[in-house]
Amino acid sequence: MTVTAPPGYAAIVTAAGRGTRAGGGEPKQWRDLAGRSILARSLDAFAGFDRVVLVVHPDDMARAIRDFAGGVTIVTGGDTRAASVMAGLHALEGQATHVLIHDGARPLVGDAVIQGVIDALQGGAPAAAPALPVSDALWKGAGGAVTGTTPRDGLFRAQTPQGFALDQISNAHRLHPHDAADDVELALKAGIPVAITPGSEDNLKITFPADFARAERILGTAMDIRLGNGYDVHAFGPGNHVWLCGVQIAHEAGLVGHSDADVGMHALTDAIYGALAEGDIGRHFPPSDPQWKGADSAIFLAHAADLARERGFTFGNADVTLICEMPKIGPHAQAMQARLAQIMGVDASRISVKATTSERLGFTGRREGIAAIATAALIKA
């Protein structure tokens, strides 16, 4: 999800610093954080804005164009943070009514923080910025010892994005062209009142090497939840038993298929492949390959389950519905759940097997075959 900004709202993402305190040799905003650069993540947060200006160091221009051209306006920054913000503001002249200025080294800014700033501006505040109240005691210290305390009442830790009416913050920068810690400081100097909006502990500024580990932990808590569905049909043919969800059931007919024709297990296997966007059974075990003739379908289900685990997923649950008039499934449902759970390596309480007739309608109603549908939920925490 990204915030959809009102018309006239623009964002400036500053990334012109050379900050190497975070280690790694290259400026921190270009470093990888769980598979994407910090800057890409920071920019993602503003994908719902009409205009986004990225301010980069001249040395990073080629790289910025390679990574981000098309979606954002890229300009080069100055020697100071204030100069870089001014370059961004200049690019927006006449193009927007409001601007949110964000530090490119805060890749985990959430929708709620951005929305809070927008809501305050929409509500009439000329400027708004997120912050968190200081909760720790504050000390003064020297030589490794506490020399005094400072009351924390009324103290806040400032975050970004900081939002302003574009003309007002542009004027403030022109009036006070000296470097300031942030744009709020400039706004106050220019007499613009700034509303405080809710910040977030996750909206950390990547500064030191340990911040990467913390950011990765925060990203890791965002769960990847996948759902997949599967559907399969097999026709009745000669025989005296059927295999359903890994259980052999005596029946007046068999099911026709290349493997053991376990229609329930096939549907479930396809649901898992589906959740992984990995095609279906036919792709992994081509029916043209004679080695799968008469195969125990447990091979297929075990393969899909292993693939899910290899990708870092665990099973939330799976639900299989068999659609047939006969045989009766109820007496076997518990054994089926236990067998599927065993093959998948999960607790049986996570696996459901149930059945329905189709009221004698259609091919299942005419007892020409059995259909099965299945859903699987995979979770990567």
Residue with CB nearest Mg ion?
A: 266
Q: Which is nearer to Mg ion, 156 or 363 (CB)?
A: 363
On whether 280 is known to bind a ligand per the annotation, the reply is yes
Give the residue among 118, 111, 93 at the shortest CA–CA distance from 7.
118
On whether 60 is known to bind a ligand per the annotation, the reply is no
On whether 148 is known to bind a ligand per the annotation, the reply is no
Least separation in angstroms between CB 263 and Mg ion: 6
Give the residue among 184, 203, 51, 194 at the shortest CA–CA distance from 113.
203
On whether 358 is known to bind a ligand per the annotation, the reply is yes
Q: Which residue has the tokens 């992994």?
A: 284
Least separation in angstroms between CB 251 and Mg ion: 17
Least separation in angstroms between CB 244 and Mg ion: 12
Backbone angles phi, psi at 18, to 5 degrees: -105, 15
- Please name the residue ranges forming H helices in 1-60: 38-44
Least separation in angstroms between CB 366 and Mg ion: 19
On whether 147 is known to bind a ligand per the annotation, the reply is no
**Encoded tokens for 317:** 């649950």
Q: Which is nearer to Mg ion, 169 or 244 (CB)?
A: 244
Tell me the C-alpha distance between 185 and 203, whole Å: 20
Q: Which residue has the tokens 């259909």?
A: 371
Is 262 exposed, middle or buried, given 0-12, 13-18 or 19+ CB atoms closer than 10 A?
Answer: buried
Q: Which is nearer to Mg ion, 106 or 266 (CB)?
A: 266
> CB of 351 within 8 A of CB of 344?
yes
Q: Which is nearer to Mg ion, 241 or 309 (CB)?
A: 241
Tell me the C-alpha distance between 131 and 127, whole Å: 13
**Encoded tokens for 231:** 């559907």
**Encoded tokens for 99:** 């601007």
On whether 178 is known to bind a ligand per the annotation, the reply is no
> CB of 47 within 8 A of CB of 10?
no
Q: Is 296 helix (H, G, I), strand (E, B) or coil?
A: coil
Least separation in angstroms between CB 343 and Mg ion: 16
Least separation in angstroms between CB 299 and Mg ion: 13
Q: Which is nearer to Mg ion, 92 or 371 (CB)?
A: 371
On whether 282 is known to bind a ligand per the annotation, the reply is yes
Chain residues that interact with Mg ion, rule: CB under 5 A: 232, 266
Least separation in angstroms between CB 325 and Mg ion: 19
**Encoded tokens for 76:** 């080069």
- Going from the C-alpha of 298 to that of each of 113, 221, 234, the distances in angstroms are 48, 33, 17
Q: Which is nearer to Mg ion, 183 or 232 (CB)?
A: 232
On whether 116 is known to bind a ligand per the annotation, the reply is no
Q: Which residues are annotated as a binding site for a divalent metal cation?
A: 232, 234, 266
Q: Which residues are annotated as a binding site?
A: 232-234, 258-259, 266, 280-282, 356-359, 363, 366
